[in-house]
Every structure is written in structure tokens, then in C-alpha cells.
């Protein structure tokens, strides 16, 4: 089975990125063939600085590898290293109804945040569909808020199959981890850079400790009193990093009282710091060998282009672009 995941190089990775996309991708590479890419074409819809795009692309490659992506088990590449994806996006757009794009919430959300109303932003789902269909993905890990885009992909694949051949594209299935599909931010909202409520994967020790102490929202329950568990941000985050035994111990302390939120925040930091110890050490090693990242991406791009070329040749023949 082939899995596919793409991540935009939009800046420092946070734990929402980790549990929502990176950890599932790393886990799935043990179950099948993974095609994982850095979505730098997509990033251009909201990023105007070429220097920043280059910087973020490289940083994402380093961090993804540090978090466990294995280039021996997966194909890892930059989206822009496979230009065939743009031709397929154009072909898909010829069967894509305007209404389908107009209903996509991502475009509306970006507009509400003040981003320019460009064609690229509007047609984003067609390029996303091309990302998936170009490599023949069987399944795509998605968050609940991204499921609509996969539905667009399936719709477009179905329209192409109806028009040009029933076996032109396979219809990919979503994989949704219900437990970690939405990681809470430090303020209780969904974790998002736009809300300023993120917890970085690779933050500095003192800075992250301070961030947890200052930003994690709690109520005014006295130290000696039992603490409410429903809606507790500390508990929700701690559960992601702690062992079942550690989590149960904190839950018991909440119920019995006698422990303040300051101690719970300290325990949260310690669990977080230990959880990412291995990735931090691996990241330091990768940063000391920059040529490794370049070699991995070049090798992955070559493998991805082989697959893309095969798919695109089949599609071009089916739609009549190869006529001689």
C-alpha cells in the first residue's frame, strides 16, 4: 500500500504538525511505501519572500528527518523538484467545476485572514489533487479539517475516470487519527500559528519552559482543592507525551488536590522534553552534516519523477495530448 503526505514549509514546526502529520507518516512507513514531500509550491500562495521559502524548505527537511522519516523506507522530496505535478493540476482543472472550488473552506479562511485572492490560492485543491494522484497513493493521512480536500481529489479522479477511462486513477482513502486529529493549543483553541498558541517541536529549553508556564491557560482553583479535569489543557497536552502510568498519576492528583498548576506545568514540560529527546539529538547530527539532507532530497526527487513520468504519460495518452 502506498501512503502520501505533504507538509508546507511555513515556519517552525509545532506539536500539532507532529501529531497530526509527521508521527502518522513515520508510523505508516512501517506498513507500506511512503511518498512524503515538502509542499513548497503550495507555500507560495501565502509566502512572498524567496529567501524565507528556501530557508523554511531546508528547515522542514531537517526536522522531518529528525522526527524519524527514513529515506530507506520512504520517498522524500521537494514538490518543486517534480514539475510534472503542475501539468497534471492543469489537466485536472479542465474537469473541475468552479462550484467545487468555491465550496472549499481553505480559500475562505485564507481570505478572512487577509491573504490576496489569487488564482493559486483559489485553485489550491486542484494542485493538491495532482499531488496525490500523480503518485498513485492508496491512502492519505489527513486531519479532520483537511478531509474536504481529499474529497475534492476523489471527485476529480472520478470525473477523469468517467471521461477518459475507468482505471485512469485510483480513488485514495483518508486515514484520520481520531485521537490526535486536533491538538489543543496553549489557549485551548486548535493549535495554529495564526492563533499564536503553538508549542514548538524543537524549541530552546528555557524558552519552552517559560512558554508553558506563561501561556498554558488554567483556572483559579486553589492549590489544596481538586482541579477540574474537563477542558484541562494541561491534561490534554500531557497525555500526548506521558506514559499511561504518568498520565494516570496526574489525573489522580487532579482529583485529590494538594498540587498546584505550577507543578503540573513543570511535569508537562518534563514529559515534553523527554519525549523529543531522541529527535533533538538526531537533529543536531543532521545539522552537522548538511550534505546528507541534499542527498536525501535529490535521491527522493529522482524516484518521484520516475513515478510521475509514468503516470503523466498514461494521462496524456488518455486525454489525447499524445496524438502521434
The domain tally of the chain equals: 2
Confidence of residue 179 (pLDDT cuts 50, 70, 90): low
- Please identify which residue in the block is written with the cell numbers 519552552: 208
Query: Which one is catalytic: 193, 215, 239, 282?
Result: 193
- The answer to whether residues 104 and 229 belong to one domain is no
- The answer to whether residues 221 and 177 belong to one domain is no
User: DSSP 3-state assignment of 7?
Assistant: strand
Long-range contacts of 282-291 (CB under 8 A, 24+ apart): 282/65, 282/66, 283/62, 283/63, 283/66, 283/202, 286/62, 286/65, 286/66, 287/62
- The answer to whether residues 166 and 33 belong to one domain is yes
Confidence of residue 309 (pLDDT cuts 50, 70, 90): very high
The whole-model pTM stands at: 0.90
Looking at 108-112, 198-202, 251-255, which range is the least confident one?
Answer: 108-112
Looking at 47-61, 109-123, 162-176, 189-203, which range is the least confident one?
Answer: 109-123
- The answer to whether residues 43 and 163 belong to one domain is yes
- The answer to whether residues 65 and 104 belong to one domain is yes
- The answer to whether residues 208 and 297 belong to one domain is no
Q: pLDDT digits over 189-242, tens only?
A: 988 887 899 999 999 999 999 999 999 999 999 999 999 999 999 999 999 999
CATH of the domain at 235: 1.10.240.10
Residue 187 lies in a domain: no
- The answer to whether residues 160 and 119 belong to one domain is yes
CATH of the domain at 314: 3.40.50.620
Decide if 193 is catalytic: yes
- The answer to whether residues 147 and 97 belong to one domain is yes
- The answer to whether residues 137 and 48 belong to one domain is yes
- The answer to whether residues 255 and 304 belong to one domain is no
Give 5's strand partners: 36
Residue 189 lies in a domain: no
Predicted local confidence at residue 79, as pLDDT: 98
Decide if 190 is catalytic: yes
Q: Which domain holds residue 81?
A: 2-182+290-319
Looking at 59-63, 145-149, 165-169, 231-235, which range is the least confident one?
Answer: 145-149
Amino acid at each position: 500500500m502506498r501512503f502520501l503526505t505533504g507538509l508546507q514549509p511555513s515556519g517552525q514546526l509545532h506539536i500539532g504538525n507532529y501529531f497530526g502529520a509527521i508521527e502518522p507518516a513515520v508510523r505508516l512507513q512501517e506498513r507500506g511505501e511512503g511518498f512524503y514531500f515538502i509542499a513548497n509550491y503550495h507555500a507560495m500562495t501565502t509566502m512572498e519572500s524567496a529567501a524565507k521559502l528556501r530557508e523554511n524548505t531546508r528547515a522542514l527537511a531537517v526536522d522531518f528527518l529528525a522526527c524519524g522519516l527514513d529515506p530507506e523506507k520512504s520517498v522524500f522530496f521537494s514538490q518543486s523538484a517534480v514539475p510534472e505535478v503542475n501539468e497534471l493540476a492543469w489537466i485536472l482543472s479542465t474537469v473541475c467545476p468552479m462550484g467545487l472550488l468555491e465550496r472549499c473552506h481553505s480559500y475562505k479562511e485564507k481570505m478572512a485572514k487577509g491573504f490576496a485572492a489569487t488564482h493559486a490560492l483559489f485553485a489550491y485543491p486542484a494542485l493538491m489533487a495532482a499531488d496525490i494522484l500523480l503518485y498513485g497513493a492508496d491512502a492519505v493521512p489527513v486531519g479532520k479539517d483537511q478531509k474536504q480536500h481529499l474529497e475534492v481529489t476523489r471527485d476529480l479522479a472520478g470525473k477523469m475516470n468517467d471521461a477518459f477511462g475507468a482505471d485512469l486513477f485510483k480513488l485514495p482513502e483518508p486515514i484520520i487519527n481520531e485521537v490526535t486529529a486536533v491538538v489543543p493549543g496553549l489557549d485551548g483553541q486548535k493549535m495554529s500559528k495564526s492563533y499564536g498558541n503553538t508549542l514548538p517541536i524543537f524549541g530552546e529549553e528555557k524558552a519552552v519552559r517559560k512558554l508553558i508556564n506563561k501561556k498554558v491557560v488554567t483556572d483559579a482553583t486553589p492549590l489544596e482543592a481538586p482541579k477540574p479535569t474537563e477542558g484541562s489543557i494541561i491534561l490534554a497536552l500531557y497525555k500526548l507525551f506521558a506514559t499511561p502510568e504518568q498520565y494516570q498519576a496526574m489525573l489522580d492528583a487532579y482529583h485529590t488536590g494538594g498540587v498546584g498548576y505550577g507543578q503540573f506545568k513543570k511535569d508537562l514540560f518534563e514529559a515534553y522534553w523527554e519525549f523529543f529527546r531522541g529527535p533533538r539529538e538526531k537533529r543536531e547530527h543532521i545539522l552537522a552534516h548538511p550534505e546528507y539532507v541534499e542527498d536525501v532530497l535529490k535521491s527522493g526527487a529522482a524516484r518521484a519523477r520516475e513515478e510521475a513520468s509514468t503516470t503523466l504519460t498514461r494521462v496524456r495518452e488518455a486525454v489525447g495530448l499524445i496524438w502521434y
